[in-house]
Chains A and B, each alone.
Chain A
């Protein structure tokens, strides 16, 4: 096992020299987590908007459920997706287990509730401001939802970022449904877990560094977008 100083030095070297294995893992991580974020937003944003503008019996229970689902344990999601995608499962015929697609499905299930619950809160606040004007304009439900989603776009970017952060950092679900197969389903978090257990701290640290840089970069980009929007009074 390497010392921390040696491991850090090796990690920086791996990043600087553009180690192929390292960048393959990073690229797959981004592909899986960005795809999952995209699909989660596709499901979660309209769902959050619909709940935000609707009043129906049992709405309180739905809100409790939505908020509770934000804390879904990744291993439980991984296990449920595994059971459905395994050979004997109802979706086994699709042959998706141990593929990046299975990982995208698991992460989508994991973060869609986060996107839905957070966007519901954002959009409900905005709807409180717009509701009377929209009723006066006799907008349809679809027009109301699309107007709210557009006007809250900068706040919803932060929501989707929270979903992406959760997806790119989780390990439990992707390791169960992806299997951490080298050159196929190995992503940053599963590789970090594996390399740490093998004692190869350099690669684990290098991946950790990249993960941190990605997290910081995405946050900085969204923050700068929000600041620019605020300057132009669009937030």
Chain B
């Protein structure tokens, strides 16, 4: 059963104007994606407004991370249409940033990891210290990035993503396996990014996190969007049986 309240999602919200209106809204129609001949996403439709933070939830294997990679232009769908404004994902990848579940850090110092991105994007190196300060890693600027703890590494990955000055920020289970304080720090940074007009789309299994940071929730099941509702409605009165089962902690097949 599909219950997508698009009208509610596109209603004006008490959020600042998106800085980059030309990239949004996102429109996905009939998206299909197969991996090794196995269909993962089947006829997925989705509309995202230009504002706020969207959480993508669903059971393991629902295709959440793959959907994120399709939206970011890292994977080419088997069929269907994905449009950021009027452009395909591959044309706007450079205007977006993705934080992976397992941060991939360069074999360099913390500062050099940020410098690398700033240089690649032709941005002044002076921005580095402010970014490191924002994620609480300025005191570790000279430390080898691969010596950081899990939480620190993910904060560095987030700082590196923000160094690209993205219009859209994707988070693929960025806080999975982190301790509560690290989760809180990352959530604060994400909320801050969102408040500054960066469109945030995150994959998470953490219902508490989705409640805290998401404005709307996209629930994937069976390769489709089973439900897309404002976050408060999704958690208080989920419409689809699959979402209800998922939130009740029952096995969703």
Instruction: Report whether B94 and A138 are in contact in the complex, using a CB–CB cutoff of 8 Å.
Output: yes
Q: Which of A133, A139, A147, A233 contacts B146 (CB 8 A)?
A: A233
Measured CB to CB, the closest approach of chain B to A194, in angstroms, equals: 46
Q: Count of A-B contacts with CB under 8 A?
A: 43
- In the complex, whether B237 has a CB less than 8 A from a CB of chain A is no
Instruction: Report whether A233 and B144 are in contact in the complex, using a CB–CB cutoff of 8 Å.
Output: yes
Instruction: Report whether B74 and A132 are in contact in the complex, using a CB–CB cutoff of 8 Å.
Output: yes
Measured CB to CB, the closest approach of chain A to B162, in angstroms, equals: 13
Residues from chain B with a CB closer than 8 A to the CB of A55 are none
- In the complex, whether A234 has a CB less than 8 A from a CB of chain B is yes
Q: For the side of the interface on B, what is the size category?
A: 20 to 34
Residues from chain B with a CB closer than 8 A to the CB of A198 are none
Measured CB to CB, the closest approach of chain B to A55, in angstroms, equals: 14
Residues from chain B with a CB closer than 8 A to the CB of A138 are 93-94
Instruction: Report whether B104 and A137 are in contact in the complex, using a CB–CB cutoff of 8 Å.
Output: no
Residues from chain A with a CB closer than 8 A to the CB of B74 are 132, 135-136
- In the complex, whether A93 has a CB less than 8 A from a CB of chain B is no
Instruction: Report whether A147 and B104 are in contact in the complex, using a CB–CB cutoff of 8 Å.
Output: no
Instruction: Report whether B93 and A132 are in contact in the complex, using a CB–CB cutoff of 8 Å.
Output: no
Residues from chain A with a CB closer than 8 A to the CB of B94 are 138
Asked if A147 meets B116 with Cβ closer than 8 Å, knowing A132-B100, A136-B74, A136-B98, the reply is: yes
Given contacts A135-B74, A135-B93, A152-B107, 14 further A-B contacts (CB under 8 A): A130-B106, A136-B93, A136-B96, A137-B164, A138-B93, A143-B120, A147-B106, A147-B116, A150-B108, A233-B145, A233-B146, A233-B147, A234-B107, A234-B146
User: 18 A–B contact pairs at CB < 8 A?
Assistant: A129-B104, A132-B74, A133-B100, A136-B72, A136-B96, A136-B97, A138-B93, A138-B94, A151-B106, A151-B107, A151-B108, A152-B107, A232-B144, A233-B107, A233-B144, A233-B145, A233-B146, A234-B144
